[in-house]
Amino acid sequence: MKKFLILGIETSCDETAAAVMDADGNVLSNVVFSQVEMHNKYGGIVPELASRDHALKIETIVNEAILKAGAKAQDITHIGVANGPGLLGCLLVGLSFAKAFALSKDIPLIGVDHVRSHLLSVMINDVNNGGSFPSFPFAGLVVSGGHTSIYLVNSVDEIRILASTVDDAAGEVFDKVARFIGLEYPGGKVISDLAKLGNKNAVKFPKPVIKGRENDFSFSGLKTSVINYFRNMGIKGNVDRNDSRALNALAGFQEVICEILVDKLIGVAEEVGIKDIVIGGGVAANYRLREMFLERASKKGFTAWSIPIKYCTDNAAMIANYARLIVKDKKDAQSFTDSMSSISAYSTTRR
């Protein structure tokens, strides 16, 4: 009997990624090609360019992942692929390649949800967690450029949404503010680096509250408030990275977003009586968010699980992991073969 080896493929947005994982959740390879440089001059992702680049790179990336894992294509026993949400053209590239690979090797194909994969990446076997994982059920926040939602994770196949954003996602707001003041894309990382140089208590921005939906997120008003603050300073596309006023504003902006994210996650977890809490997604790599998450969770008596930074941004290890968990959970992997029928897409507003 062949050793279990699962190949994961991720092409939902602007990363072409492939990874190989074993049955215990050990990552044998994790290759990610980012299109950031290509999209930077446009200030955000151009879907047509993204899907075309995926088509050009995917075979090379998959071959590299298999080679780095010390394996051959015929050693792969299962394949997992992101089937949504994401940019439709980008998803189709990954799904088409995965279906062809699975058909040619006569192996099961498991289509998995991109967002749930972020959540369950906390169960990837990594030196940083020492093989320890949260117990079901746990509450998890996925925060990225396209998503800001809180979930109740009862099991691998029972994941329920508890709260979400009614307008912009947190990462989207970082990108839009960065673009307004002339910072490069993606803006979240640049703002995070500059915020370290500012005083987070010098400028206070409002925390939006939605009447009757206090657990949900709303960042549109905050985005407008921050942009107007910079506009009143005379800053539009020309921020001086040495201007202490601008650095303080960015630090205050980052602080309030992190407070909103952490406090709402803890508040929702308290409501449902969950003690294990998780954060994942690209914005979960933000240093201040991770600090605050650990600090406030500890004070409130929660066990906080931070996903390793290398698995926060889009990657294929998280896809392989979720597919592995489905197989391990004794699901019929063959029933997931027709992934095309379950594609879901969102229209990105990060352009």
The residues, any chain, with a CB within 8 Å of residue 289's CB and separated by 6 or more, are 143, 257, 258, 261, 262, 279, 283
- Does the pLDDT of residue 329 top 90, yes or no? no
- Does the pLDDT of residue 336 top 80, yes or no? no
Mean pLDDT along residues 244-248: 97
- Does the pLDDT of residue 272 top 50, yes or no? yes
What letter represents residue 87's amino acid? L
Categorize the per-residue pLDDT at 106 as very low, low, confident or very high, splitting at 50, 70 and 90. very high
What letter represents residue 25's amino acid? G
Residue labelled with tokens 């107007």: 228
Asked if residues 114 and 86 have their Cβ atoms less than 8 Å apart, the reply is: yes
Confidence at residue 157, expressed as pLDDT on a 0 to 100 scale: 87
Integer angstrom CA distances of residue 83 from 71, 94, 295, 329: 25, 8, 35, 19
Categorize the per-residue pLDDT at 212 as very low, low, confident or very high, splitting at 50, 70 and 90. confident
- Does the pLDDT of residue 32 top 50, yes or no? yes
Confidence at residue 127, expressed as pLDDT on a 0 to 100 scale: 63
pLDDT in tens, 295-327: 999 999 999 998 999 999 999 999 999 999 999
Determine the 3-state secondary structure of 161 from DSSP. strand
Confidence at residue 330, expressed as pLDDT on a 0 to 100 scale: 62
pLDDT in tens, 90-101: 999 999 999 999
Determine the 3-state secondary structure of 239 from DSSP. coil
Mean pLDDT along residues 275-284: 96
pLDDT in tens, 141-197: 999 989 999 999 999 989 999 999 999 999 999 999 999 999 998 899 999 999 999
pLDDT in tens, 35-55: 888 888 888 889 899 999 999
State what percent of residues in the chain have pLDDT above 90: 83
Phi, psi of 35 (to 5 degrees): -95, 15
Cα–Cα distance measured from residue 140 to residue 124, given in angstroms and rounded to the nearest whole number:
15
Determine the 3-state secondary structure of 240 from DSSP. coil
Categorize the per-residue pLDDT at 218 as very low, low, confident or very high, splitting at 50, 70 and 90. very high
Mean pLDDT along residues 9-30: 96
Q: How many CA atoms lie within 13 A of 207 on its CB side?
A: 14
Question: For the chain, what is the mean pLDDT?
Answer: 91
Mean pLDDT along residues 105-114: 96
Of 215, 221, 214, 292, whose CA–CA distance to 251 is shortest?
Answer: 292
- Does the pLDDT of residue 347 top 70, yes or no? no
Can the peptide bond before residue 85 be classed as cis, meaning omega within 30 degrees of 0?
A: yes
- Does the pLDDT of residue 267 top 60, yes or no? yes
The domains found in the chain, sorted by start residue, are: 5-128+312-342 (3.30.420.40), 138-307 (3.30.420.40)
**Containing H/E element for 207?**
none
Confidence at residue 128, expressed as pLDDT on a 0 to 100 scale: 65
The residues, any chain, with a CB within 8 Å of residue 130's CB and separated by 6 or more, are none
pTM of the model: 0.91
| Backbone region of residue 268 per phi and psi (left: phi > 0; alpha: psi in -120 to 50; beta: other values) | alpha
The C-alpha angle with vertex 174 and arms to 112 and 298, in degrees rounded to 5, equals 75
| Token pair listed for 20 | 């190989």
Strand partners, 163: 150
| Backbone region of residue 84 per phi and psi (left: phi > 0; alpha: psi in -120 to 50; beta: other values) | left
